[in-house]
Amino acid sequence: MNWLILIIAGLFEVGFTTCLGMAKQSKGTTANLWYAGFFLSLTLSMVLLNKATQTLPLGTAYGVWTGVGAVGTALIGIILFKEPADFWRLFFIFTLIASIIGLKVVSPH
């Protein structure tokens, strides 16, 4: 269950980075709403990360949390913000995903 909580925490990390990107492109009330989404996502991400680290090793949990966030943010950047999607960028995104899976496989149950 805490692995699921950890992945959700990583998805909220993607949420707060996406909100920052959207706020940067917005003005006025719209930007303020994106900043509110940033703070909400940041808070939920930290609360869920804290919950997951109560039973998962801290180093593993942090590695997975940042990995999910990095992969998700890179993919959002490619899809939403039209960032480059060249071979090497996609290759290293794949290696991050493989590393996250590897941490799950070798972690004590």
Per-residue pLDDT of the chain (109 residues; tens, 9 = 90+): 999 999 999 999 999 999 999 999 999 999 999 999 999 999 999 999 999 999 999 999 999 999 999 999 999 999 999 999 999 999 999 999 999 999 989 987 6
Q: Give the Cβ contact number of residue 48 at 10 Å.
A: 22
Q: What is the C-alpha separation between 102 and 96, in angstroms, rounded?
A: 10
- CA distances, 39 to each of 20, 52, 71, 86 (Å): 10, 20, 21, 32
Q: Which long-range CB contacts under 8 A does 46-49 form with residues at least 24 apart?
A: 46/9, 47/9, 48/5, 48/6, 48/8, 48/9, 48/12, 49/6, 49/9
**How many Å apart are CA 61 and CA 74, to the nearest integer?**
20
Q: How far apart are the C-alpha atoms of 71 and 10, rounded to whole Å?
A: 10
Q: CA end-to-end span of the chain, whole Å?
A: 11
